[in-house]
Amino acid sequence: MEPFSNAYSLETKGLNLWYGDFQALRDISARIRGGIITGLIGPSGCGKTTFLRCFNRINERYGNVSTSGEIRVLGKNIYEPDVCLQELRKSVGMVFQRPNPLPLSVYENVVFGLRIHSPWGSLPKAELDAAVEEALREVFLWDGLKDRLDTPATALQLEQQQKLCIARLLPLKPRVILMDEPCSALDAEGTKAIEDLMDSLRGRYTMLIVTHNMAQARRVTEECIYMLNGVLVEHASTEDLFLYPKDERTEAYIQGRYG
């Protein structure tokens, strides 16, 4: 995969989103650079997860959702009539708070997306085998699972399940990976393992991560966005946002005086 330049992978202009009559996002304009890890921080209910889910239009699954403004992924307005949601969600993978492996074997979890998206029907087993090995190596699971590929994915440890959920995305060659508190269900050891994995993926994917863990945001992200009441308050390098916040609302949150 070619490395990213400093171009913006994700952009919004004047983005508003409503759940029925409730406005969850208000006039958000943001530019998220390619190939880095950007954190979304802020108190519960501030719109972080809603904003995250705008980039693969998964909010629309919940019904009664309306938006205005513009969202661009890799330069493409994702609300243009020629946009295929299936193709969008291949390019923009999603990792949820709790691991959600399919009730299938480790092997079938990794190849599930390839089978679904293959325009030619059945793929050669050699191709599937290679994709499984490549994906599991990329998430540091191959050595431990190469002789257990028939094991039910739900029998794995939670940390392994979350890594497998990331591995499940990789054969589809996403350019963007969205993560909604990917470590919230894990202990300290599992959290470190996922953070190490994120670090290894840095530069090859654009990653946008929602986290309530301020220490994690400082450890793993290059840039952070602070949100409050559906508004983007501040977007800066992680160092600047934590050490030299420009907005007093950001400073209050960072110092634990709010949220």
Q: What is the pLDDT of residues 69-81, one digit of tens each?
A: 999 999 999 999 9
| pLDDT (0 to 100) of residue 162 | 95
Residue 142 has pLDDT above 70, yes or no: yes
**Contacts (Cβ under 8 Å, ≥6 apart) of 119:** none
CATH of domain 8-254: 3.40.50.300
pLDDT tens for 205-214 read: 999 999 999 9
CA distance 172 to 69: 29
Instruction: Look up the pTM and report it.
Output: 0.91
- Segments of the chain assigned E as strands: 8-19, 22-33, 37-41, 65-73, 76-77, 92-95, 176-180, 206-210, 223-228, 231-237
Residue 232 has pLDDT above 70, yes or no: yes
| pLDDT (0 to 100) of residue 86 | 85
CA-CA-CA-CA torsion sign (167, 171, 172, 173): positive
Edge-to-edge strand list for the sheet holding 76-77? 22-33, 8-19, 65-73, 76-77
Q: Burial level of 241, CB count in 10 A (0-12/13-18/19+)?
A: buried
pLDDT tens for 89-124 read: 889 999 998 899 999 999 999 999 888 877 655 788
| pLDDT (0 to 100) of residue 257 | 67
pLDDT category, 193, cuts 50, 70, 90?
A: very high
| pLDDT (0 to 100) of residue 131 | 94
Express as a percent the part of the chain with pLDDT over 70.
95
**Contacts (Cβ under 8 Å, ≥6 apart) of 7:** 33, 34, 75
Which residue, 255, 210, 243, 205, is CA-closest to 42? Answer: 210
